[in-house]
Chains A and B, each alone.
Chain A
Amino acid sequence: MNGAANNSPDSARLVTPAMLLVWALLATLPLWISRLGLYPYIGIEILIWAIYALSFNLVLGTAGLPSFGHGAYFGIGAYAFGLCQFNIAPNLWVCLAAALLAAALAGAFVSLFISHRRGIYFAFMTIAFGQIFWTISIKAHSITGGEDGLLKIARLPADFGVVAFDLKNNVSFYYFVLAAFAVVVMLLWRLIHSPYGKVLSAIRQSETRASHLGYRVWLYKASIFTLSAGLSGFAGGLFAMAQLAAFPDVMSLHHSGYVVMMTLVGGGLVSFWGPFIGVIVFLVARDVIGAFTNAWMLWFGLLFMAIVLFKPEGIAGAWRSFVQERGGKVWKSVAGERLRLLFRSG
């Protein structure tokens, strides 16, 4: 399942074969992405949005909490990265930590109000808080630059003490983001297969039962919301580096909707990798369909509706069903086994 813990041998591993396959594929991406007619920068976008979507799916897929204002934390991370760079310390690690912490603090604050809510009330509260943060980002002109955004954010070098890497080049920055993505994937995989992840999954299925088993449900909800917000902020900090700016647009409701669409289209409700798949489909669709028409979102919206109506488990779920229906023939093949490893836990 989603994040969902399962009982496969992979669930006890820190690094799974599926991860190695994905990382290897991504590590070679700069070598072949242009041949597909796509520009290399999309690789950076995919990885950053993947970190964001995987973090978001902790809340939506693992804990079953419908958060529709998550763009706020992504944006707060972006602004925190820029503001830290301008006003505190122009150091990559400090600024990324500031992005994570600022978003986590905002998430913790919001979670105090929403963690006792569920369902539609929870969803509306997240939208309301998202809109509040978005409005603040536009109105606090002296801090955020208002609608113009926070400009001239630099890609600070990755200084490891003995060696430092310049990230101004898109390729070097891509590999830096890939390393961050790899770490986040490992951490999230471990987390969702831990007792903590199991309890969140239990809460998704029945808050009442979880509470009567002795779990302080609101604290789990608050903690996962805070963690998810913090990691979204981390992705936002990377996004500020990628864009060399932070804009209020990413905090808006429709941008918050993007991550929901990515997660659901990819199959975040049933697969760990669902959000990642959704990000790829979304961004590639944006560029490919966008090359033919400005109304690309209309077509993606139709795809989203079709998936919700006919295959709510998303692309990953559809793939899993397809493989299972094909039966033993596929399972026994090497390719089938690889793909099973990629999608089962999935």
Chain B
Amino acid sequence: MALLTAKGIHVRFGDRVVLEEVDFDVREGEFHGIMGPNGAGKTTFFNVLTGRVKPNRGSIELAGENVTGFPSHKIARKGVSRSFQIMTLFDEFSARENVLAALPEFRDSGFNPAKAVTAEKKWQDAALDVLAEVNLAEKADVKAKELSYGERRALEIAVATAQRPRILCLDEPTSGLGSDGVRRLSDLVQRLKGKLTIVAIEHDMSFLFSLADRISVIHWGQVIARGTPSELRENEWVRRSNLGKFA
């Protein structure tokens, strides 16, 4: 059964149509990749899924609940977390603080002016556990801005997973990484796969084709193909659009 379903999503900015009648679904536990050329509408579609952009038409259902047009904070509370193509961390916070701020139990205490953050050991420990998952436990007290690029990418994922999401949306997670970095990230995502439902936009085809259960190809604001990696390799549209050549 689909955990997330988008039907007929249509987005226009002014007179420019960015997404046109996009249908999409993600099954529970699935890794669903999204690929397509620059400007195809992938990130806009992500922004629609995560509440950053309201669609002009269409609907989104999360576990059977209509969440169309919900703002991003509400979508996040429903269990959809995301990373950003342009990394968006709390740079002045340490890695631990970044993760801590994402913990649901911390968020639920957000309006509590009486507790001392540092005195809440269970929060600190929970944050450390999440960092350990992405091999950043040793860098827990290093400020986010002082981490290396690859570590910041891993921290982005740690922040997203700390929310204990039902769906993890990754926007070009390998962007800017070297081959070693991609390999480490690939290992990390492999570990998360199965535990989480993942939707990932990605330009690195070998990364995507090696991990994804299904892939949707977006081009000109439309889904032009969808299927398993092996199906897509044979897809005529994908071949024509020159997207599958690296897979």
The answer to whether A and B come from one shared complex is yes
Cβ of A256 under 8 Å from chain B: no
Interface string of B104-147 (1 = CB under 8 A from A): 10110111111111110000000000000000000001000000
**Measured between C-beta atoms, what is the minimum distance from B86 to chain A in Å?**
10
Interface string of A197-226 (1 = CB under 8 A from B): 111011001101111111111001001000
Confirm or deny: A243 has a beta carbon within 8 angstroms of a beta carbon on chain B: no
Q: Determine whether the beta carbon of B119 is less than 8 Å from that of A12.
A: yes
Within the complex, the shortest CB–CB distance from B127 to chain A, in Å, comes to: 12
* Contact across chains for B97 and A215 when beta carbons are under 8 A apart: no
Instruction: Assess the A195–B90 pair: CB atoms within 8 A.
Output: no
Verify B110–A212 contact, CB threshold 8 A: no
A194 to B111 alpha-carbon distance, docked (Å): 9
Contact B77–A214 (Cβ < 8 Å): yes
Contact B117 A193 (CB under 8 A): yes
Which residues of chain B are near A195, meaning CB under 8 Å?
106, 109-112, 115, 117
Question: CA A208 – CA B101 in complex, angstroms?
Answer: 13
B93 contacts the other chain (CB 8 A): yes
Contact call B89/A198, Cβ cutoff below 8 A? no
Q: Report 14 cross-chain contacts, Cβ distance below 8 Å, ordered by A residue.
A: A4-B92, A7-B97, A11-B116, A193-B118, A194-B116, A199-B101, A205-B91, A205-B93, A206-B89, A208-B88, A212-B82, A213-B107, A214-B76, A215-B107
Chain A residue numbers with a CB within 8 Å of B77 are 214
- Residues of chain B within 8 A of A211, CB atoms compared: 71-73, 76
Give the bracket for the number of chain B residues in contact with chain A.
Answer: 35 or more
Residue of A nearest to B116 (CB): A12
**Is the Cβ of A213 less than 8 Å from the Cβ of B101?**
yes
For B114, what are the chain A residues with a Cβ–Cβ distance below 8 Å?
190, 194
Provide the bound-state CA to CA distance between A28 and B73, in Å. Answer: 50
Closest-CB distance, B175 to chain A (whole angstroms)? 17
Determine whether A196 belongs to the interface, using a CB cutoff of 8 Å to chain B.
yes
- The chain A residues found within 8 Å of chain B, CB to CB, are 1, 4-5, 7-9, 11-13, 190-191, 193-199, 201-202, 205-206, 208-217, 220, 223
B73 to chain A minimum Cβ distance, whole angstroms, is 5
Specify which of B71, B101, B141 is in contact with A198 (CB 8 Å cutoff): B101
Q: Establish whether residues A194 and B117, one from each chain, have CB atoms under 8 Å apart when the complex forms.
A: yes
User: CB-nearest residue of chain B relative to A199?
Assistant: B110
Task: Pick from B52, B110, B112, B118: contact of A12, CB below 8 A.
Answer: B118
Is B112's CB under 8 angstroms from A214's CB? no
Residues in A with CB closer than 8 Å to B107 are 213-215
Beyond the given A198-B117, A208-B88, could you list 10 further A-B residue pairs with CB under 8 A, ordered by the A residue number? A12-B118, A193-B116, A194-B115, A195-B109, A195-B117, A201-B93, A206-B88, A209-B159, A211-B73, A223-B111
Interchain residue pairs A-B with the least CB separation, the first 9: A214-B76, A12-B116, A12-B119, A205-B90, A214-B77, A195-B109, A196-B113, A209-B88, A211-B72
Indicate the member of B77, B91, B107, B113 with the most A CB atoms within 10 Å.
B113
Q: Please determine whether B118 and A213 come into contact, CB atoms closer than 8 angstroms.
A: no
